[in-house]
A and B are shown apart, each in its own frame.
Chain A
Amino acid sequence: QSVLTQPPSVSGAPGQRVTISCTGSSSNVGAGYDVHWYQQLPGAAPKLLIYANSNRPSGVPDRFSGSKSGTSASLAITGLQAEDEADYYCQSYDSSLSGSNVFGTGTKVTVL
């Protein structure tokens, strides 16, 4: 099991706002390491959605936003759209792990 915990699923109606948490500890998120977020559509490779806690790569809609506080990070999707239905993963660094890179447990977003 990952050291970064995410809710298994979140859902919302089109147009609504949903948030996904990524809860870590003092050896990863709380130690000040960056958190990145990925979107994985069904049958596709992951796509970088947010990097360094709150930055969007070029081409990512501003409906997606990220934040970090203490030992947790969050991804928010505002104005939810049907095409946002996907799995979302956070990623960070944990100095206590072999290799140190770690992904969150993943969250399935369902658009009702």
Chain B
Amino acid sequence: EVQLVESGGGLVKPGGSLRLSCAASGFTFSSAWMTWVRQAPGKGLEWVGRIKSKFDGGTTDYAAPVKGRFTISTDDSKTTLYLQMNSLKTEDTAVYYCTTPLAYSGTYTPDPFYLWGQGTLVTVSS
């Protein structure tokens, strides 16, 4: 089955760290460009960052609010995407989704996000 499953969310204090995971299955993970999107409670979607496949350079891009604090990485052997979040702030409280374009990758600018995980909630509070 083609799917993404996030894990690792929870309650963390301001200034703390947390690592989210996104386990992928059913598609060629090593070729996929993977993205994190978040949604604060009652708010809209916010693009967080993206990692290209290693074949395409493995480079990362981040949204301004998280640049320098968040790091995206992948482990192709485990078909897993990670989001390392450091120096967390209360405004980072959100449901975090991993997503990928699958077959829609590379043809459009930007890529549309076809496959989504169910999300994992991160709460930053003292």
Contact = CB atoms under 8 A, between A and B. Distances in A.
Are A and B a genuine interacting pair, yes or no? Answer: yes
B44 A103 contact: yes
A101 B35 CA distance: 10
Interface residues of A, number: 28
A68 to B, nearest CB: 12
Contacts, number: 79
Given A97-B64, A98-B63, A92 B110 contact: yes
A45 B39 CA distance: 10
Interface in B82-126: 97, 99, 104, 107-110, 112-114, 116-119
Interface residues of B, number: 27
Given A98-B62, A99-B62, A93 B45 contact: no
Given A33-B109, A98-B62, A98-B63, A47 B46 contact: no
B118 A101 contact: no
B116 A46 contact: yes
Interface of B: 35, 37, 44-47, 49-50, 61-64, 67, 97, 99, 104, 107-110, 112-114, 116-119
The list of the 6 closest CB pairs from A to B, nearest first, reads A106-B44, A51-B112, A45-B116, A101-B47, A36-B112, A103-B45
Interface of A: 2, 33-34, 36, 38, 40, 45-48, 51-52, 57, 87, 89, 91-93, 97-106
14 contacts: A33-B109, A34-B110, A36-B108, A36-B113, A45-B116, A51-B112, A52-B112, A92-B110, A97-B64, A98-B62, A99-B50, A101-B110, A103-B37, A106-B45
